[in-house]
Amino acid sequence: MAVDKKLRDLVQKAEAGDPDSQVGLGLLHRLSRGVEGNDSEAGQWFRKAAEQGSLEAAYYLGCHCLETGDYPEAIKWIMDAALRGHERAEFTLGYMYCKGEGLKQDYSEAAKWFLKAAEQGSTDAQVNLGILYVQGLGVEKDMSQAFEWNLKAAEQGYDVAQNNVGILYFRGEGVELSQTEAVKWWRKAADQGHEEAQYYLGLVYGAGKGVVKDVEKACFWLMLAARNGQEEALAIKESMDNWLSKKQKDKITKKVKKWLKEHEEQELGRAHLFDHPFSR
């Protein structure tokens, strides 16, 4: 009953013209929470709020238009939000320039908008800016900058960045080579389910680089990586099976099943509303 009353109050305020309530109702339609899921209805509520100057609504409306393929409207509203300092809008605009999504591809513009969002703490922007520095697109190639921006995102817990930091430490690119540090960051990413980091952990445990060689741990991480879609992991894990007893294999299989069960809801928890496919 209390929930129904809150929803009625929200609808009443939205219909009366309150922009925050309009955004809230649009999100409920978007998420199918308490109301029928309806993207068109969500877009209409976002537009009502955006036309009153709501910053959040401008961003959400831009994303809605982007998803429906209305690029002129998407650019209009995302640009509006980005120019007013909306972090996600800045990142999204950067990626649109980077991929030529509705805009002419322009890496310099992409770097400019990624930097704005990155300085506000956007992990997606920090990682993408790092990629531009690795490839020398829109900026001069600079591995130190690539490392620093990935590190900022990694320290916020972003698994993609943690994996990248591990790679850079392992190769000694942009930072002094350290296999121990590489393993530390790969472990952080692997614990979040990042399949490439799990694969790299399997390799270093198998080779004894940065860690004491441990075939059981190598097979554990390679099996996890394979379960998560890392194709090369399974072949390497199978070659290591020859070094293990049946008891060891059974033990690893149980550990993998336990890990997967404990982390089965993890991906849902990491989902972000309106994350476009070009986000994480």
pLDDT digits (tens, 9 = 90+) for 76-129: 999 999 999 999 999 999 999 999 999 999 999 999 999 999 999 999 999 999
Residue tagged 């390497």 (tokens): 236
How many of the other CB atoms lie within 10 Å of CB of 210?
19
Whether 20 is in a domain gets the answer yes
**pLDDT recorded at residue 245:** 84
Give the integer Cα–Cα distance in Å for 266 and 258. 14
Grade residue 271 by pLDDT with cuts at 50, 70 and 90.
very low
Structure tokens at 177: 């080579």
CA distances from 215 to 92, 207, 238, 243, 249 (A): 43, 9, 12, 8, 11
Give me the mean pLDDT over the 251-275 stretch. 67
Give me the mean pLDDT over the 253-271 stretch. 71
CATH number for 21: 1.25.40.10
Q: Are 127 and 160 in contact (CB under 8 A)?
A: yes
The model's pTM: 0.86
Give the integer Cα–Cα distance in Å for 202 and 194. 13
**pLDDT recorded at residue 265:** 59
Q: What is the pLDDT of residues 17-76, one digit of tens each?
A: 999 999 999 999 888 766 666 788 999 999 999 999 999 999 999 999 999 999 999 999
Q: Counting runs of H as helices and runs of E as strands, what totals does the chain give? A: 16, 0
3-state secondary structure of 175: coil
Q: At what angle do helices 19-31 and 2-15 cross, to 10 degrees?
A: 120
Grade residue 272 by pLDDT with cuts at 50, 70 and 90.
very low
How many of the other CB atoms lie within 10 Å of CB of 154?
24
Give the integer Cα–Cα distance in Å for 154 and 245. 37
Q: Are 153 and 123 in contact (CB under 8 A)?
A: yes
**pLDDT recorded at residue 175:** 97
- Residue scoring higher pLDDT (267 or 221): 221
> Residue 279 pLDDT > 70, yes or no?
no
Grade residue 264 by pLDDT with cuts at 50, 70 and 90.
confident
Give me the mean pLDDT over the 124-149 stretch. 97
Number of domains comprising the chain = 1
**pLDDT recorded at residue 240:** 75
Residue closest to 23 by CA, chosen among 7, 2, 45: 45
Average pLDDT, the chain: 89
Whether 228 is in a domain gets the answer no
Whether 40 is in a domain gets the answer yes
**pLDDT recorded at residue 2:** 55
Grade residue 250 by pLDDT with cuts at 50, 70 and 90.
confident
**pLDDT recorded at residue 266:** 55
Give the integer Cα–Cα distance in Å for 46 and 278. 22
Task: Give the list of residues 6+ apart from residue 126 with CB closer than 8 angstroms, or none.
Answer: 114, 118, 149, 150, 152, 153, 158, 161
Give the integer Cα–Cα distance in Å for 122 and 149. 10
- Residue scoring higher pLDDT (260 or 122): 122
Q: Are 143 and 164 in contact (CB under 8 A)?
A: no
Tell me the percentage of the chain whose pLDDT exceeds 70: 91
Look up the domain containing 35 and give its range.
14-84
**pLDDT recorded at residue 133:** 97
> Residue 274 pLDDT > 70, yes or no?
no
List, in sequence order, the alpha helices (H) in the chain: 2-15, 19-31, 39-50, 55-68, 71-83, 87-99, 107-119, 123-135, 143-155, 159-171, 179-190, 195-207, 215-227, 231-240, 246-262, 266-269
Give me the mean pLDDT over the 181-189 stretch. 97
Residue tagged 């998803």 (tokens): 67
